[in-house]
């Protein structure tokens, strides 16, 4: 620490301070008549009094120059040594427990040795960076690039001497650390862990599959596996429904005929149970194979039982029926049944939408069927044909009223309405549709309901009219539609002849079906999840909403949820209130299938919501167990470091001490303090004046 005195005025101003002090001393004591009777000894003491006055006045004048003391503080900062230890499962997969313990002890000795001369900061990493050296070597993911990036961010503008990266060079998440975006300007010393020997091994590389399937369907999975140093061996590829050892749905023995062998096969399996269904794919180990953890993968398929059933009920056979069925079934969410009124014996409650083609007709009123659909609240799409009882259709629905029909037919072309807004269609839809061939539409006076909207209007010859050709509406919770014309099969054929596809026709049918079958969710308590399949390293999050009778979001009452695994173990939680809704982070859960049931009490009753999800295992670390020391060598070379073997880690401390670049940094800081704030100076001046006053009083000067 160094201090110096600094003035805010020129130093020669000190002369005036001394002259002022001298003037005061002379004025008081040179010709002072107060001490004319003083003895010789007392007069000698007057010289001391004049000196006290001189110093006191000079010091006070000096303070008027606003002097301050500038102090420099110095701080020596030791350089950081950052240790990054890979904590993933592949690092010690081929290492004996004894060698693993020996390595960990060596790292601890290195930390202790380095701590005497450096600031040592230790981290473990896998999918993210964790402070400290809590080693378990069981993490499921390795992201080397992210670890280096985080070190660069955390130690930006710090005195970092070196980074020690201890890993096997295997990464299965993030970018290649050689080509990553790390801004490290620090030497990186890599510790080459793991085994580079390519042992005899069979690896189940990929199982590609659909995440969603529909109940009763078949789904395809593609299995890809590879082998190394296993030429001449045989392995059996098995697929089980559920866990390994469950119902076997596929088995095939494969002969490995190359040293570096690749195999791929498509397997078709049935999904016959709603919910999340597990399949296990296994490869039997071959003789001499040391690592079998990468011979198995579990896959999970969300089997939906939500296919909506659509009934096409006709008065008689017609080409329109086939055109509609083919177009509807381009969407796998829909299952279509075509039947005729004279043969229909199904249950109307089983269907989500009914398309009545030519019904009610003049001969078949279909009263029982229509009544059943009405009671079930099933949406109905009426398609009028020359067999339809037009007056009866007008009575049964509120979309369009047709009067004055005399059983004659008009040839009408579609004209797209400009003010339709129940759903959107592609920008080129109007141009294509208005070129479609005419339909045969009943003659009459058409009146559209005020609550209905016409997607298509009728153009008779070259004259556009306001008569609706295709109109839809919703009354309460009931939706309905009327297409007042037959012959839409010609639209499908014309669409293909123009564009070699049926996209416009399919879009028209699909959007209409979607509007009619979508049901409004009137539940007052709802629980949502972002997805139904989670990896074991992902947290499980829920959101919930509670609506009052006016369908306004509220969250005054408490909401609870109980998660239950497939063995019956329960995990109870309470939702947190966020804004006007609910949220819950349930953290990590073990691998398995889960169901949940949430409940809250509102308006004197209990509201519930239920669902299910699955947590799937991460198997990335088992797919590759052969260390990549070439990557570690290249990393060390890129950042100006060195690659060392695990047994050489204790020697790193001496390497760092011999590096001239790794040295302490001297930091200086300055502090300015005004002299007038110095208490000792105040008391010194006060003591001068007090002594002078005392002696003057003593000698009779006052």
pLDDT at site 621: 67
Domain identity same for 313 and 393: yes
- On whether both 58 and 157 belong to a single domain, the answer is no
pLDDT tens by residue, 611-662: 888 887 776 666 677 788 999 999 999 998 999 998 898 899 899 888 888 8
pLDDT of residue 127: 84
Encode pLDDT of 426-476 as tens digits. 878 888 999 999 999 999 999 999 999 999 999 999 899 999 999 999 887
Residue corresponding to tokens 């701080």: 75
Q: Kindly tell me the sign of the dihedral angle through the C-alpha atoms of 339, 342, 348, 354.
A: positive
Mean pLDDT of 369-380: 91
Is 650 inside any structural domain?
A: no
Residues 504 and 375 in one domain: yes
Residue 47: DSSP 8-state: H
Among residues 517, 541, 569, which one ends one of the domains? 517
Residue 586 to residues 527, 532, 637, Cα–Cα distance (Å): 14, 14, 44
* Percent of the chain scoring above 70 in pLDDT: 95
Determine what percent of the chain is predicted with pLDDT higher than 90. Answer: 39
CATH number, domain with residue 129: 3.40.50.410
Range of weakest confidence among 117-121, 212-216, 262-266, 313-317? 212-216
Residue pointed to by tokens 């961010």: 153
Whether residue 123 is found in the same domain as residue 228:
no
Contact 512, 506 (CB under 8 A): no
Give me the half-sphere count of Cα atoms (radius 13 Å) on the Cβ side of residue 76.
6
- d(C-alpha 133, C-alpha 107), whole Å: 9
Are 627 and 192 spatial neighbours (Cβ–Cβ below 8 Å)? yes
What is the pLDDT, as a whole number, of residue 25?
A: 80
Q: Tokens 């992902």, residue?
A: 538
Q: Which of 258, 289, 304 is the last residue of a domain?
A: 304
Considering the domain boundaries, does residue 653 fall inside one?
Answer: no
**Do 510 and 545 fall into the same domain?**
no
Structure tokens at 238: 């098995």
Q: What is the mean pLDDT of residues 382-399?
A: 93
Are 187 and 248 in a shared domain? no
Please list, in sequence order, all residues whose beta carbon lies within 8 angstroms of the beta carbon of residue 185, skipping any fewer than 6 positions away: none
The token pair at 651 is 């020697």
At residue 318, what are phi and psi to the nearest 5 degrees?
-160, 145
Domain presence at residue 649: no
Q: Please report the pLDDT score of residue 167 as a whole number.
A: 92
Could you tell me if 294 and 182 lie in one domain?
Answer: no
Instruction: State whether 257 and 361 are in the same domain.
Output: no
Residue 363: how many other CB atoms lie within 10 Å: 11
Rounded Cα distance, 447 and 356, in Å: 21
Tell which residue, 623, 620, 563, has the closest CA to residue 594: 563
Q: Using DSSP, how many helices (H) and how many strands (E) does the chain show?
A: 14, 38
Domain boundary pick from 273, 304, 335: 304
**How do residues 512-568 score in pLDDT, each as one tens digit?**
998 998 776 667 899 998 887 788 888 999 999 998 877 788 999 999 999 999 889
More confident residue, 8 or 487: 487
Q: How many angstroms separate the CA atoms of 601 and 556, rounded?
A: 10
Long-range pairs, 124-130, Cβ under 8 A, ≥24? 124/84, 124/85, 124/86, 124/87, 125/84, 125/85, 125/86, 125/87, 126/86, 126/87, 126/88, 127/173, 127/537, 129/84, 130/87
- Give a yes or no: residue 461 inside a domain: yes
Same domain, 467 and 374: yes
DSSP-derived letter for residue 230 is -
pLDDT (0 to 100) of residue 480: 95
d(CA 533, CA 592): 10
Residues 6 or more apart whose Cβ sits within 8 Å of residue 376 = 348, 349
CA 526 to chain centre: 22
Q: What is the CATH number of the domain that holds 273?
A: 2.60.40.10
Q: Is residue 330 part of a domain?
A: yes
CATH of the domain at 435: 3.40.50.880
Do β-strands 452-460 and 463-475 pair in parallel, antiparallel, or remain unpaired?
antiparallel
| Structural tokens at position 366 | 């279909």
* Domain match, 400 and 487 both: yes
Tell me the pairing of strands 160-167 and 188-192: parallel
Structural domain boundaries, residue 254 = 201-304
Please give the sequence-ordered ranges of beta strands (E in DSSP) within 315-417, or none if there are none.
334-340, 353-357, 380-383, 400-403, 409-416
Considering the domain architecture, whether residues 421 and 341 belong to the same structural domain is answered as yes
Total of domains in the chain: 5
**Domain assignment of residue 683, yes or no:** yes
Rounded Cα gap, residues 588 and 565, in angstroms: 13
Across the chain, what does the average pLDDT equal?
87
pLDDT at residue 323 greater than cutoff 60: yes
- Give the three-state DSSP class for 338: strand
Q: Please state, in angstroms and rounded to a whole number, the distance separating the CA atoms of residues 205 and 193.
A: 23
Kindly list the distances between the CA atom of residue 313 and the CA atoms of 374, 376, 389, 482, 505, in Å, as whole numbers in the listed order: 15, 16, 15, 14, 20
Residue 359 and residue 464 in one domain = yes
657 lies in a domain?
A: no
Residue 621 domain flag: no
Backbone angles phi and psi of 575, in degrees to 5: -65, 150
Between the CA atoms of 368, 371, 375 and 378, what dihedral angle is there, to the nearest 10 degrees?
Answer: 100
Q: How many C-beta atoms surround the C-beta of residue 10 within 10 A?
A: 8
* Strands 308-314 and 380-383, sheet pairing: unpaired
């Amino acid at each position: 620490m160094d201090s110096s005195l600094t003035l805010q005025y020129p130093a020669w101003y000190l002369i005036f301070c001394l002259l002022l002090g001298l003037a005061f001393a002379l004025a008081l004591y040179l010709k002072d008549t107060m001490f004319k009777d003083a003895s010789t000894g007392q007069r000698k003491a007057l010289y001391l009094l004049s000196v006290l006055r001189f110093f006191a006045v000079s010091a006070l004048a000096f303070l008027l120059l606003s002097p301050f003391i500038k102090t420099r503080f110095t701080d020596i900062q030791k350089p950081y040594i950052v240790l990054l230890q890979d904590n993933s499962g592949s690092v010690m997969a081929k290492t004996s427990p004894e060698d693993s313990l020996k390595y960990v002890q060596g790292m601890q000795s290195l930390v202790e040795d380095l701590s005497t001369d450096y600031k040592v900061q230790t981290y473990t990493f896998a999918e993210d960076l964790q402070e400290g050296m809590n080693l378990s070597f069981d993490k499921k993911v390795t992201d080397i690039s992210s670890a280096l990036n985080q070190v660069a961010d955390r130690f930006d503008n710090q005195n970092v001497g070196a980074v020690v990266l201890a890993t096997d060079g295997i990464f299965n998440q993030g970018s290649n650390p050689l080509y990553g975006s790390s801004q490290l300007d620090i030497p990186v010393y890599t510790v080459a862990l793991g085994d580079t020997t390519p042992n005899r091994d069979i690896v189940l590389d990929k199982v590609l599959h659909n995440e969603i399937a529909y109940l009763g369907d078949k789904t395809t999975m593609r299995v890809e596996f590879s082998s190394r140093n296993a030429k001449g061996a045989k392995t059996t590829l098995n697929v089980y429904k559920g866990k390994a050892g469950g119902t076997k749905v596929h088995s095939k023995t494969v002969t490995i005929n190359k040293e570096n062998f690749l195999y791929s096969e498509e397997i078709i399996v049935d999904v016959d149970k709603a919910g999340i269904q597990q399949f296990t794919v296994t490869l039997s180990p071959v003789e001499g194979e040391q690592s079998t953890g990468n011979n198995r993968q579990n896959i999970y398929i969300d089997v939906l039982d939500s296919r909506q059933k659509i009934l096409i009920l006709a008065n008689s056979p017609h080409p329109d029926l086939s055109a509609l069925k083919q177009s509807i079934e381009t969407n796998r969410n829909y299952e279509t049944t075509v039947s005729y009124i004279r043969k229909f014996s199904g249950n109307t409650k089983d269907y989500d939408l009914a398309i009545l083609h030519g019904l009610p007709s003049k001969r078949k009123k279909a009263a029982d069927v229509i009544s059943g659909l009405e009671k079930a609240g099933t949406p109905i799409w009426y398609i009028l044909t020359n067999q339809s009882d037009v007056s009866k259709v007008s009575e049964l629905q509120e979309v369009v009223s047709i009067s004055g029909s005399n059983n004659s037919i008009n040839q009408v072309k579609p004209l797209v309405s400009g003010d339709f807004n129940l759903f959107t269609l592609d920008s080129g839809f109007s141009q294509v549709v208005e070129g479609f061939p005419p339909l045969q539409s009943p003659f009459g006076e058409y009146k559209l309901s005020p609550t209905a909207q016409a997607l298509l209007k009728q153009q008779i010859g070259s004259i556009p009219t306001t008569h609706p050709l295709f109109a839809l509406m919703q009354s309460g919770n009931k939706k309905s539609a009327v297409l007042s014309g037959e012959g839409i099969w010609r639209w499908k054929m014309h669409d293909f002849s123009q564009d070699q596809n049926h996209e416009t026709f399919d879009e028209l049918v699909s959007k209409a079906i979607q509007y009619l079958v979508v049901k409004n969710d009137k539940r007052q308590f709802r629980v949502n999840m972002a997805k139904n399949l989670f990896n074991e390293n992902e947290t499980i999050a829920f959101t919930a909403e509670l609506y009052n009778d006016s369908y306004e979001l509220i969250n005054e009452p408490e909401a609870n949820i109980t998660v239950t695994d497939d063995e019956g173990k329960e995990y109870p939680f309470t939702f947190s209130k966020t804004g006007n809704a609910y949220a819950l982070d349930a953290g990590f859960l073990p691998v398995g299938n889960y169901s949940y049931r949430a409940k809250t009490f509102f308006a004197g009753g209990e509201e519930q919501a239920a669902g299910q999800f699955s947590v799937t295992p991460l198997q990335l670390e088992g797919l590759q167990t052969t260390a990549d020391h070439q990557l570690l060598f290249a990393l060390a070379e890129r950042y100006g470091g060195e690659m060392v073997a695990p047994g050489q880690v204790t020697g790193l401390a001496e390497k760092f001490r011999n590096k001239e670049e790794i040295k302490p940094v001297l930091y200086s800081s300055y502090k300015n303090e005004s002299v007038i704030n110095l208490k000792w100076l105040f008391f010194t001046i006060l003591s001068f004046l007090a002594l002078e006053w005392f002696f003057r009083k003593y000698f009779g000067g006052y």
